[in-house]
Structure 1
């Protein structure tokens, strides 16, 4: 009598894990137990990175706005404060893009905020 193997559902489960583990180094991409462990760690890292990406971009935008503001004699915090007082509702992503790609428009925003 042949040994009982797990069948279709187990193979589908294994293949799903192996699909996610494709390209992993050594046994982590080839041996099911190792692949499961590595895929779960990768999912955790991806979850964490999706949140960190938002923080990283915000920090980048603030650095760019600060650099643009200082060319016009303002600090970042003073610029943001004066924008709020002037009811200019531009988010940091847009302000950073203006500071980087369109200095003329950024200068107009700074002047309007003053």
Structure 2
């Protein structure tokens, strides 16, 4: 259909209204009562449900991260190494494992996780504890890269 003026174009309601209503009612198909059948009530319910769904996606991610952190912390406590120390020393060793991977290792492969904690503990012992200690010259008889 060709419209010669914009006014006539705006007055035509066409099939778009049907499809828009149908989409909302499809989204409301699992609701109870009039929220399911009555369009004016369904539109509010669907909008609120979509808001809750968007919020839930964010919360779900945060809850998973917290769960992984708790699992790693529990495994670290069994092996007598604090969680922050483990993460810091794994980063110093250039071992880039995500929290999810570490949590899976802690649950399903405890020996591998124990080896990782031993690596982190060894790195912690070799690393200077403070900045002041790092600036002091090395002891007699020790050759460092800076001396070469």
Using the size of structure 2 for normalisation, the TM-score is 0.69
* Greater helix proportion: 1
* Equivalent in the alignment of 2:131: none
* Equivalent in the alignment of 1:99: 106
The answer (yes or no) to whether the contact 1:88–1:113 under 8 Å persists in 2 is: no
Give the gaps of 5 or more residues in structure 1: 1-5
Residue 26 of structure 2 is aligned with which of 19, 26, 32?
19
- Report whether the alignment pairs 1:66 with 2:73: yes
SS of the residue corresponding to residue 23 of structure 1 reads: coil
Aligned-residue offset at 1:8: 2.4
Greater relative contact order (Cα < 8 A, sep 6+)? 1
5 Å-filtered alignment, 1:46-65, equals: 46-65=53-72
Instruction: Please tell me the root mean square deviation across aligned C-alpha atoms, in Å.
Output: 1.2
Give the gaps of 5 or more residues in structure 2: 1-12, 122-148
SS of the residue corresponding to residue 104 of structure 1 reads: helix
SS of the residue corresponding to residue 111 of structure 2 reads: helix
Q: Which runs of 4+ in 1 moved over 2 A?
A: none
